[in-house]
Structure 1
Amino acid sequence: MEIRTPTSAELELILTLSPQALFEGTLGGVMPTSEKIKGLIEPLLAKGCRYFIAVEGGDLAGWILFGKSKDQFTDTPIGFIYELFVLEQFRGKGYSKQLLSKALDHLKSENLLEVRLSAFSGNHAIKLYEKAGFHVRTVNMSLNL
């Protein structure tokens, strides 16, 4: 397995697969259009966020999208994990852990002191994040009316 930045063709493939990734990450709550995905991701890439991908035997296995952000109250620079996804046939082999580790190393090299992310309650990736040292910082709640 290799972890690296994607080629432009691989980036296009990620954008094609991202609606399904978001659907799974929101536990079936959101199925965005490709246009919506591009509208979310292109501004992140324009501000310096980046992808790392996992490749196995020439095939895309998964990706992580991360970059710098700011605390909404203090404007303190922080790192943020925007997306982490591994294709179903590659799951359970440690790709997520390796992608997360590589992104965290990169954010640490930029002298950031904190990294945040958001995950839907019940998302199986929460266990991975907790093992990596993440902890609950805030709680978002909703009420269906």
Structure 2
Amino acid sequence: MIIRKPNDNELEKVISLSPKAILDGTLGVVKPTREKVTQLVESLLDRGSYYLIATDGHELMGWVLLGSSKDQFTNETIGFIYELFVLEVFRGKGISEKLMRSGVDHLKNEGYSEVRLSVFSGNKAIELYEKMGFKKRTLTMSLEI
């Protein structure tokens, strides 16, 4: 397995699969269209965010989307992990952890002193994030009315 930045064709494939990534990551709550995902991703890419992909030969296994964000209270720029996804056929093989560690390393090498991410309550990836040392920082709650 190799972790690297994608070429243009691979980037298109990642973006085409991102609605599934968001659907899975939000536990089925968010069902974005490809157009909405493309709009969101292109905005992030235009601001300097980028993907790292995991491949085996020419086969895409998963990806992580890295970038920066501003702390809402201090206005400090921090590293941010916007998306992590491993295709179902490759799950359970440690690929998520390798992508995350590579992503954190990239952000550290870019000079960020902190990395944050958001995750839906109940997502199994929380176990990985906590294992890696991520701590709960904020909690968003909702009430349907």
- Taking structure 1 as the reference length, the TM-score comes to 0.98
Q: Does 2:25 align with 1:25?
A: yes
Percent same amino acid among aligned pairs? 59
> Counterpart in 2 of 1:85?
85
Q: RMSD of the TM alignment (CA)?
A: 0.7
- Taking structure 2 as the reference length, the TM-score comes to 0.98
Alpha-carbon deviation of 1:57? 3.1
Distance 2:15 2:6 in 1: 12
> Counterpart in 2 of 1:71?
71
Q: Does 2:29 align with 1:11?
A: no
Distance 1:124 1:144 in 2: 24
- Aligned amino acid, residue 69 of structure 1: S
Q: Can you give the 5+ residue segments of structure 1 that lack an aligned partner in the other structure?
A: none
Distance 1:135 1:97 in 2: 16
Distance 1:123 1:59 in 2: 26
- Equivalent position SS for 1:51: strand
Number of residue equivalences: 145
Q: Does 2:106 align with 1:96?
A: no
- Equivalent position SS for 1:78: strand
Q: Please identify runs of 4+ aligned residues in structure 1 that moved more than 6 A.
A: none
- Equivalent position SS for 1:43: helix
